[in-house]
Structure 1
Amino acid sequence: MRNKNFNIVVIGQIISLFGNAIQRFCMSLYILDLTGSAAIFSSILAISTIPYILFAPMAGLLADTVNRKKIMLYLDFISAGLMAVYSIILIGGMDNTIIVGSVMFMLSIIYTLYSPAVTACIPQIVEKEDLEAANGIIQQVGAVVNLTGPIVAGILYSLVEIKTIVIINAVSFLLVAILEVFLDIPDLKVKEKINNPLTKSTSEMTKSFYYLKEKKKVVLGIIISYGLTNIFVVPILSIVSPYFIKIRLNMSSAVYGFSEAVFVLGMIIGGLLITTKPKLFNMKEIHKTMYPMVAAITLMATAAYFAMENNYIVLGLYSLGGFGIMLSLALSNVISLTYMQKEVKEDMLGKVSAFSTAIATASVAPGQLIYGQLIETNINMHYILLLTLLLSICVVTFIKWNAGRIDLDEKTRSAVLNETIDEIEMV
């Protein structure tokens, strides 16, 4: 795509996401190695989601009032500084569980403020007819980076100490910040001066909810589906997978890295499909993109049930299941995000994006805690996966019902328009 600003955003995402992929992967293994408990591991990860809930209202307000370039630029510089300080702590041998949790907590704050700005700037720098392709490219870039990230991270974690990985991440944030200096994103027209940002941001979050409830019910349904998926499906990848592969199957960090790379390969394929063949997919049939997910969870449950002496066969089947889940999520996320960007008016897009992020991330913690406790009670893994299968079918049913309301909304709009025309003609 011949667009300087979009290309800068893409390159910045490549560098930043690569550093994040390595950091996220290694920190997860680092916490699991420190604790050795699925319950403690999931609790720490759950606590790190709290900032998403607390700061999401302010994030939407920032994205709709402050220049989005400045938001991304300043936050990347802050991230680089945070990683630099943490690397000094690691070098000095002063690290502990509390510090790890604190660093993850602060990174979560930064991500919460950063994400709506990136999402909201895309419609501002590309033409409307290029939105779907642009979102597909962003999704594909993230998938490619996340594919190589776990592989590199698994090898790095096996060969070097965590402090080296943190330093790499600090450098990646710094490079992105320097690159973002050359972005050209115009200021937004702010209609009113804000005296109390926190009160205003909370008010805007409430306003976003009522706006969606009254005028964009399908978009609200999409956001709810994000939450349901994060509670009942995503923990398979974030909580169950590292524990099952590292502890139950007794695989190395490098092997787990390759397994997670297979998961991400599903996102790459999904991104390629939505980018090269966008006409094959539409919002009204978005539930069909979730069918591979249901089949994948079935395969994972089967692999866990028919445990074999050769753990690599079990690992292969389980990894293929993760591939299917990520394929479905990649397709559905791009389709739903594009629909939201087209349906929501520009001056509300940042607020709605922040509201969406708040709901999605608030639902992560309950899912992580639930699955962590299920594992800790020593319930057989295939029972956990069978329960997930049933719940995923319920989620897909809800997504299908929500998509079916698009036709109803269109009929309602048409009826209102016809009534207005009739009234004008009568006058």
Structure 2
Amino acid sequence: MSIYLYLYRFFIPSVGIERNDMKNSSETTLQSSLRSANFILLVLGQGISLFGNTMLRFAMSMWVLDETASSTTFATVLTISVIPTILISPFGGIMADRISKRAMMVALDIISGIVTLLATVFFALSGFNILVIAIMQVVLAVLDAMETPVVQSALPQIIGRESSTDLRRGTAIINQVQQLSQLLPSFLGGVMYGLVGIRPMMLITAACLMSAAMVECFIRLAKPLSNQDDTGICLLGVIIGDMHSATAFLLRKEPTVARLAGVCTWINLILTGFSSVSFPYIIRTTLGYDAATYGLCDGIIGIAGIAGTFIAGCFANRLKSQNAPSLLFVESLMLLPPAIAFLLPCSTQTKLIMLVFCTAVVIISVDFLNLILVPSIQMRTPTAFTGKVMAIISSLTICAQPLGQMLYGWLHAHCTVWLILLISALASLPLAWLAHPLFTHLDDTISK
């Protein structure tokens, strides 16, 4: 506990100094907001929490595979957990706008840690049980879905809404920590699972979640504005009213945000289907490579994702909304070379190299797009609506994932690989053209 008190005492005095400096220059404002105690604690808490969650997911997949010898069983469990995630995510956004964001982050991490501990005790006493694993994964997925809009709505409150550059730099740092927190357990998880087994890894996850909650206890955020009109209204009425107001905001007051959400959803539809279905199918089935080769290729894509977040973060202060159509064009264009390679009589090595290289470039371009889309949405959304709006967008993008997977599964059953890649490129290319008017003056309208 003393280390958290030390962090609290060390960083809080610097906040007052930074606030005085903020009046002098915008550059000092950016540095102070990204070095403030609140931002550092938010990044640290999210990194620890995500590390634990990724560790648990990896360990569970290994355990289920060992016990059932079926790679589809755990995938089915994860797929089922998506359904309550879609339904609960908007509720998390509503709570984020009404309840203390710090209290929600702390409570959700503590509950996740308790659920993990209870499951550990059950497995220690009763052994393997796929039903309990499914229940645990669903509960943890729901809790994670509720926390996502809380964090997304807390970020602009911590950094401020004065500059989109500030939010882009902050988002870049969050993305970098998230990428590292997801990649490290993948490298360490296999070794740890072989050495200590499932239950110690679950205890590590619970410890990470509890530690994240302790870190988040020291985040200082303004209390949400109270709504006096809710007196006497039942919980269901409050939920319906809040969702109606958020939807009205998207469709009537700020249709630009709705269009940005549509861009996010469409990108997720195409890329999720391609990355989760086409990429492994082409390497393993079409080209006939073994699991080790696919693992290497998947690792390269993961490294590209991390590199993309760091590169995008370096250019965050120069990144403008006007760059988005060009990035969308690059994303679409990079799917054409592998399509041509599969159409022509090229060697399997050439096809593999072309596929992996172009996919890596697509991932990097998406990292840049993320730093444009998410801060633009946050900048245009008032504080009272941030949680609800981000939750709605999160639900839309989550819905796009299974739809994209089913779409690409159908395409691989009826089309050749080169045609699927061509369709993917053509499906993304019009978006770059249609989105050009949307992004041309987006920064100007935000500043106004």
Change in Cα spacing, 1:104 to 1:408, as seen in structure 2 (3 Å) is same
Residue equivalent to 1:165: 201
Gap change, CA 1:12 and 1:358, over 3 Å in 2: same
Counterparts of 1:373 and 1:35, CA distance in 2 = 26
Q: Deviations over 1:285-318 (max 9, x none)?
A: 31222344335544666787879687xx876655
Aligned to 1:282: 320
2:212 is equivalent to residue 179 of structure 1: no
- Partner in structure 2 of residue 146 of structure 1: 182
SS of the aligned residue for 1:249 comes to coil
1:250 aligned partner? 290
Moved more, 155-164 or 49-58: 155-164
1:339, CA displacement in angstroms? 0.6
- Structure 2 Cα separation of the partners of residues 164 and 321 of structure 1: 39
Aligned to 2:8: none
Is 1:327 paired with 2:364?
A: yes
Secondary structure at the residue paired with 2:218? coil
Q: Secondary structure at the match of 1:278?
A: coil
Task: Say if 2:383 is the partner of 1:346.
Answer: yes
SS at match of 1:183: coil
Q: What's 1:420 paired with?
A: none
Tell me if the contact between 1:235 and 1:371 (Cα under 8 Å) persists in the aligned partners.
Answer: yes
1:5 aligns with 2:38: yes
Deviations 1:220-253 (A, max 9, x none): 122122222232221333345566667863325x
The amino acid that maps onto 1:168 is: I
Q: CA deviation at 1:29?
A: 5.9
Mapped partners of 2:282, 2:192: distance in 1: 21
| 1:425 paired residue number | none
- Partner amino acid for 1:186? A
Q: Offset of 1:6 from its aligned partner?
A: 0.4
Match in the other structure for 1:423: none
The equivalences for 1:200-219 within 5 A come to: 200-219=238-257
**Is the contact made by 1:151 and 1:258 (CA closer than 8 Å) also made in structure 2?**
no
Report which stretch shifted further, 186-195 or 20-29.
20-29
The amino acid of 1:293's aligned partner reads E
Match of 1:361 in 2: 398
Instruction: Give the residue type in structure 2 aligned to 1:348.
Output: F
The alpha-carbon deviation at position 335 of structure 1 amounts to 0.7
Q: Which residue of 2 is the match for residue 118 of structure 1?
A: 151
Q: Distance in 1 between matches of 2:303 and 2:313?
A: 15
Aligned mate of 2:311, from 248, 257, 273: 273
- Residue number in structure 1 paired with 2:56: 23
C-alpha contact 1:290 1:396 (8 A) present in aligned 2: yes
Distance 1:391 1:62, change over 3 A: same
Distance 1:412 1:144 in 2: 34
| 1:352 to partner: Cα distance | 0.7
Partner of 1:263: 301
Amino acid at match of 1:232: I
| Deviation of the 1:12 alpha carbon | 1.1
Partner of 2:82: 49
Report the Cα distance in structure 1 between the residues aligned to 2:332 and 2:443, rounded to whole angstroms. Answer: 30
- Of residues 316-325 and 220-229 in structure 1, the stretch that sits farther from structure 2 once superposed is 316-325
Q: TM-score, normalised by structure 2?
A: 0.78
- Asked if 1 retains the 8 angstrom alpha-carbon contact of 2:56 and 2:205, the reply is yes
1:275 to partner: Cα distance: 2.2
Q: Distance in 1 between matches of 2:195 and 2:410?
A: 32
CA distance in structure 2 between the aligned counterparts of 1:308 and 1:90, rounded to whole angstroms: 49
| Equivalent of residue 222 in structure 1, options 260, 266, 271 | 260
Distance of 1:156 and 1:242 partners within structure 2: 26
Cα distance in 2 for partners of 1:407, 1:317 equals 32
List runs of 5+ in structure 1 lacking aligned partners: 418-427
Q: What's the CA shift for 1:138?
A: 0.9
Q: Name the TM-score, length of structure 1 as normaliser.
A: 0.81
Residue 75 (structure 1) aligned with residue 113 (structure 2): no
| Pairing 1:294–2:347 present | no
| Mapped partners of 1:244, 1:261: distance in 2 | 16
Contact 2:322 2:441 in 1 (8 A): no
The CA deviation at 1:214 is 1.6
The alignment covers a number of residue pairs equal to: 405
State the secondary structure of the residue aligned to 1:348: helix
Higher relative contact order (CA 8 A, sep 6+): 1
**Given residue 332 of structure 1, which amino acid in structure 2 is its aligned partner?**
L
CA distance in 2, matches of 1:239, 1:169: 29
Per the TM alignment, residue 397 of structure 1 is displaced from its structure 2 partner at its CA by: 2.1
Aligned-pair Cα RMSD in Å: 3.5
| Contact 1:213–1:220 under 8 Å retained in 2 | yes
- Find the counterpart in structure 2 of residue 66 from structure 1: 99
Match of 2:6 in 1: none
Range moving further from structure 2, 126-135 or 388-397 = 388-397
Q: Which residue type is aligned with residue 68 of structure 1? A: K
- With over 3 angstroms needed to count, the CA separation of the structure-2 counterparts of 1:407 and 1:250, relative to structure 1, is closer
Q: Residue 42 of structure 1 contacts residue 372 of structure 1 at CA under 8 Å; is this kept in 2?
A: no
Shift of 1:80: 0.8
Which is worse superposed, 255-264 or 300-309?
Answer: 300-309
With over 3 angstroms needed to count, the CA separation of the structure-2 counterparts of 1:385 and 1:75, relative to structure 1, is farther
Label 1:394 to 1:37 Cα distance change in 2 as closer, same or farther (>3 A): same
Structure 1 residues 89 and 262: alpha-carbon distance in aligned structure 2, compared to 1, 3 A threshold? farther
Percent identical among aligned pairs is 23
Q: Is the 8 A contact 2:92 2:149 kept in 1?
A: yes
Matching residue's letter, 1:237? S
C-alpha deviation, 1:4, in angstroms = 0.3
CA contact (8 A) 1:287 1:396 kept: no
